Chains A and B, each alone.
Chain A
């Protein structure tokens, strides 16, 4: 039988994996964006110690291979008494890892905002979290949209690594299909196509959001 016909016959496996990938990506990307935005506060803090700790987190995450980080969380942490199931470990790993990148992207944009824009916030009585939420964060997000889009695509691609802790995401299901029915080419092409469709959807959404953001910058 044609390889693709086999994959089509067992499409429920691929669809299930794809659905799980979408759930994992949605949760991790949202988490990384929210935590990344919050991480900019210590990254831009006037307090040197706070800033150094936040910067150290970003540096460590950027220097650790994602695969090793997943191993550490799933296989290493139980030695310290912290045990997660594979789904939880996978989503935490994806979120924390990408938080560092997202935080650094947003911090760089914040640092490049016109100084007067934030000063105007101070001059009109904004301070603390209110200043951040109402005056700083919206222009930072609007200006960072293309870079946020890149990072979201990275989350999609990183999610494939979770196969090594047996999370039933797309790569894992494609692998299991090919090992069961010996259809490696068709299985992996199907998976690649679905990753590509996901990334194209993200790019289109970001493109649309970018047009909306244009006059707000």
Chain B
């Protein structure tokens, strides 16, 4: 079961930069028609850190996250996974084939805002599906790992249930277990608590906090300010498609550098 006590290990900025970069966005830009959503975004995510992307709705946080596993195709710039460019074939400008892109995506976990569990599969099957049918791993071994993961997120008694029978919080914990089962290099969380009733938010955040404590590399788009303050190693504040400010949670929440971040935090403080 989850360890809910203690604060996450804080990685200092100097220590962080000695670590390998897992995901890098280099000069990313993206538009939907005339609407420019990302403008020349650059960001490095180091091994073992938790980066929280904050900002008002429409600031480009989710689009940036979705560009990191190429669910959204950036118009310009590059995404690198462990130093290798994804989405584009090596040394060229030609898009990767669907199967090559699919192979890259197995190394990047994703947790969706609306859970996106596969409704025709049980909880256990949801967790086992991609390791067995995409990674082609041994079914018995995957089953043992999936059972252990579901036990870890507190869903040992729901393995045979279908997603339709679960609460939102339970669905999201399955979503997290499903990502962990792939043993990804990084997990992307797209507003993992935004669709939950307030009383269910805590159980999901506790799981993510536990993963941060273990040193998983994570990028989390969230509106939960207290979660970002307690769990993130770094906070990235976005607005209007720009990264306005980056810093440790202590710096960002105590003394935001930009006027826009001050306004944003003041609005949250007012509730």
Instruction: Knowing A125-B135, A215-B165, A216-B119 are in contact, say whether A119-B106 is a contact too (CB < 8 A).
Output: no
Question: What's the interface size class on B, roughly?
Answer: 20 to 34
Contact A122 to B130, CB < 8 A, known contacts A127-B101, A127-B102, A138-B120 = no
Q: Is the CB of B116 within 8 A of A117?
A: yes
Interface 0/1 of A105-140, CB less than 8 Å to B: 000000000101101111111111010001100110
Given contacts A116-B114, A216-B162, A217-B164, contact A124 B134 (CB under 8 A): yes
Q: List chain B positions with a Cβ less than 8 A from chain A.
A: 69, 71, 98-99, 101-103, 105-106, 108, 110, 112-120, 129-130, 133-135, 162, 164-165, 178, 182
Q: Tell whether A142 is near chain B: CB-to-CB under 8 Å.
A: yes
Q: Report A25 CB to chain B, min CB distance, Å.
A: 27
Tally of A-B Cβ pairs under 8 angstroms: 75
B105 touches A125 (CB 8 A): yes
Given A138-B120, A142-B120, A217-B164, A124-B106 contact (CB < 8 Å): yes
Chain A: interface secondary structure?
helix
CA distance A114 to B114 in the complex (A): 10
B181 to chain A, nearest CB (A): 9
Chain A residues with Cβ below 8 Å from B129 are: 124, 134
Partner of A139, one of B69, B115, B119, B165: B119
- Report yes or no: A217 in contact with B133, Cβ–Cβ below 8 A: no
Say which residue of A116, A122, A135, A139 sits within 8 Å of B105 (CB atoms): A122
Q: A residues near B, CB below 8 A?
A: 114, 116-117, 119-128, 130, 134-135, 138-139, 142, 215-217
Min C-beta distance of A123 to chain B, whole Å: 4
Known contacts: A139-B118, A215-B164. The answer to whether A116 contacts B112 by CB under 8 A is yes
B102–A120 contact, CB under 8 A?
no
Are B162 and A130 closer than 8 Å at their CB atoms? no
Contact indicator A123/B99 (Cβ below 8 Å) = no
B179 to chain A: closest residue by CB = A124
Which residues of B lie under 8 Å from residue A138 when comparing CB positions? Answer: 120
